[in-house]
Amino acid sequence: MDEGMELQLSLDKLPIKRLDSIEENGIERFPPDVDYDEKRTSLIRRIDFAWAIEKDEEKKKQKKSSKEPATPWQWQGMVENLQLAHQELSVIIDLINTVEANDAVTVASMTKPKSLPNEALSDLAVCAATKLQCYRKVGKYFKQSAKAFEQQVAREARFYGALIRLQQNWKVKRQRQTSIVPGNEGFTFDLFDNSYDQGAIIRSSLMSTVRVNHDAAGMLAINVSPELCHSLQFGFVGAQPDDMQKKSNENKSHLPDEDSSDETGIESSRDEECVKKTHSLLRDVHKAIFNEQVFDLLNREAFSASTGFTLTGIRENYLQLSLGQGTSVYLSLASSGQDHPTVEGELTNNADNAVSPLESSDILMHDAQQNTLKKKGQNSNSTCYEIYIQQIYHEHIFGRGSEKPISSGNRLSGAQANDGSSLLGHFSMSLSHRIFSSKILAELENVVFKVPYLQLISNPTWYSRGSSWTLFMEVPPSILRGCQIKASENATKRQFWTKVVVIDDCINVKAEGSPNVSGLFKGKSVDTHSINQYDCNLADLPVIILQQVASQIINWLYHEALMVGIKANRDFLCLSFELEQGETLALVANVDPEDNDGCISWSLVMEDSFAEVQKLHTNNTDDASEYRKFLGPLSLDLLYATLIDLISFVSGGGGCQ
């Protein structure tokens, strides 16, 4: 109650009967009993509503009096209505309390007063507004859910689209797990090939199953640790490390740059990139598994004594093998960016000590160049050998194209004693052959450099354990070519060849040998000359080649002499003519591979029967003696001219000079 209100008290009379009056004869008169209903009514009437009514009237008066202020507060009416409502409510609450307290008055019935139309309409409006609000909320909820579903569908579409594209090239497996983390449907890529050795599954199982995850954007992603991706490295111990760095840099995979620009425009290209990136990652893992298999097999075979390699060093993912002759190689599985340092103290490959015939100007510079060339050659060769190992392993396991593999199943065990059928054995033989053939090539080049009329032609064999070269000499045309007999025209040889074939470490020299006289008239070059064929070793090769060439020259000169009609005798390296007094005039070849002026030098030797006896008693090796004239290395034209001179001398009478 307001403080300003006055407190009024009303006192009830005690509900006892009071004497109303007494008559003279003593009869008491009491007031009549009040009826229950009347009592109730009177009690109700006692509730005084006057104050409320008065207040209303006062307020109305105040309102009328206070209409002068120009701008009433906009909520004033609402405040007054609320206050009135408040008062009415407090009246009602008082009534209810009174009814509660007095059992004399109870509520008979409650009826809502008939609401006024505006009240009914406002009620309806409120309900409608509430309902509308509700619908709006539901609508918002639906929109949100729809958007979320759309995003989820789009994300799934991208994910499955990428997965389908990857499934075109890779094996996808699905595991139906009961407790699947939302977002991980249990897809994996299985990268292991069943063609591999079954025993090697253990090593590669870590990498061979790649789980498919979702990245932050819901797109397909795989987690592959780059350290697991090994690459096979082969090299010569002691080789320069520069090229190793280049090789390891090539193996690093380049991730695409993150593009933070507007997503909607380039989403499809990002998906494309993502698929490509995943594809290349899977390919890296696949290659790493393959490299591991190769290394595994070579590891197992390295312990066998029959491969040709000797195991000299072993570490995790690293094998060092010695081939003999001071050559050491290593095989390692390196992660991208990691190189294995080689073991110190091993000899480098001394394959080529000879001077390279490329330039003859400055020997020192030329040695340095040659060393770097040799090292570079080795390094580029080491890449070749890497590829070669991988190729032969691949053929071994998978076969070539549609052919069956060379061996199948679980076949590579120590029981294979045959060098040729084990991978490492074959590889060691190829490697040693290559080293050996490079030595041979150096020798041949040396010889060809020194002898100007010899040419070297390489004959590629496309076989890893075989090489072949042809040394080729072209002789000047004969003077008498125009007068030759038809039948022997084809027999006039202008070219002589010597073929050097190397299989593994066996050198085979094949050359045209002494001419077959009867074949001269047959017209076929095969029948004209016999073919010499013999084996030799590396140290003797230059001498043998030179001897062969010299004998071919002698043969040619002999043939030319015969063409002219002069009788000559031919020995291995000597062409002799008989003079009248029993003397012989001989043209003798002398071969010396160490001679820098030309390895084949010529001498004229005059011999008679007396001189031969003298030679037996004395060791007269003086080149300036009357019986021997040293001519030195001669070109073929000069030789031919010399022959013509000799022939004319011989045919001119053979007199003294």
Partner 1 sequence: MNKGGPGGGGPTAAAAASVAQKQKTLLQKVEGDIANIVDNFSYIVNVARVNDPPVRNSQEAFMMETRAARMVQAADSLLKLVSDLKQTAIFSGFASLNDHVEQRRIAFNQLAEKTDHTLSMIGEKAAASLKELESNYSSSAQKTIQEIQP
Phi-psi region of 591 (alpha: psi -120 to 50; beta: other; left: phi over 0): beta
Does residue 184 bind partner 1 (CB under 8 A)? no
Site for partner 1 in 542-601 (CB under 8 A): none
Nearer to partner 1, 448 or 491 (CB): 448
Size of the site for partner 1 (CB under 8 A): 41
The Cα–Cα gap between 131 and 125 comes to 10
**Shortest Cβ 69–partner 1 spacing (Å):** 38
**Shortest Cβ 469–partner 1 spacing (Å):** 10
Does residue 137 bind partner 1 (CB under 8 A)? yes
Site for partner 1 in 354-373 (CB under 8 A): 357
Strand partners for 587: 575, 604
Q: How far is CA 113 from the centre of its chain?
A: 90
Does residue 143 bind partner 1 (CB under 8 A)? no
In this chain, which of 401, 420, 652, 655 binds partner 1, going by CB under 8 A?
401
Encode burial over 146-174: b for 16+ CB neighbours within 10 A, e otherwise. Answer: eeeeeeeeeeeebbeebbebbeeebeeee
Does residue 123 bind partner 1 (CB under 8 A)? yes
Q: Which stretch binds partner 1 (CB under 8 A): 136-144, 368-376, 476-484, 510-518?
A: 136-144
The Cα–Cα gap between 623 and 608 comes to 17
Does residue 460 bind partner 1 (CB under 8 A)? yes
Q: How far is CA 107 from the centre of its chain?
A: 94
Does residue 268 bind partner 1 (CB under 8 A)? no
Q: E strands, 504-626, where?
A: 506-515, 529-536, 568-570, 574-578, 584-591, 600-607
**Shortest Cβ 128–partner 1 spacing (Å):** 5
In this chain, which of 30, 149, 463, 521 binds partner 1, going by CB under 8 A?
149
The Cα–Cα gap between 573 and 238 comes to 45
Cβ–Cβ < 8 Å for 203, 333: no
Does residue 138 bind partner 1 (CB under 8 A)? yes
Cβ neighbours of 317 (radius 10 Å): 18
**Shortest Cβ 39–partner 1 spacing (Å):** 37
The Cα–Cα gap between 58 and 83 comes to 14
The Cα–Cα gap between 422 and 424 comes to 6
Q: Which stretch binds partner 1 (CB under 8 A): 56-64, 101-109, 158-166, 274-282?
A: 158-166
Nearer to partner 1, 93 or 138 (CB): 138
Kind plus residue range of the DSSP H or E element containing 235: strand 230-236
Nearer to partner 1, 205 or 458 (CB): 458
In this chain, which of 456, 503, 566, 606 binds partner 1, going by CB under 8 A?
456
Site for partner 1 in 616-645 (CB under 8 A): 635
Quick one: tokens of 628? Answer: 């021997």
Nearer to partner 1, 211 or 522 (CB): 211
In this chain, which of 47, 53, 82, 134 binds partner 1, going by CB under 8 A?
134
Strand partners for 327: 324
Residue numbers at the binding site for partner 1 (CB under 8 A): 123-124, 126-128, 130-131, 134-135, 137-138, 141-142, 145, 149, 152-153, 156, 160, 163-164, 167-169, 172, 174, 185, 357, 401-402, 448-449, 452-453, 455-458, 460, 462, 635
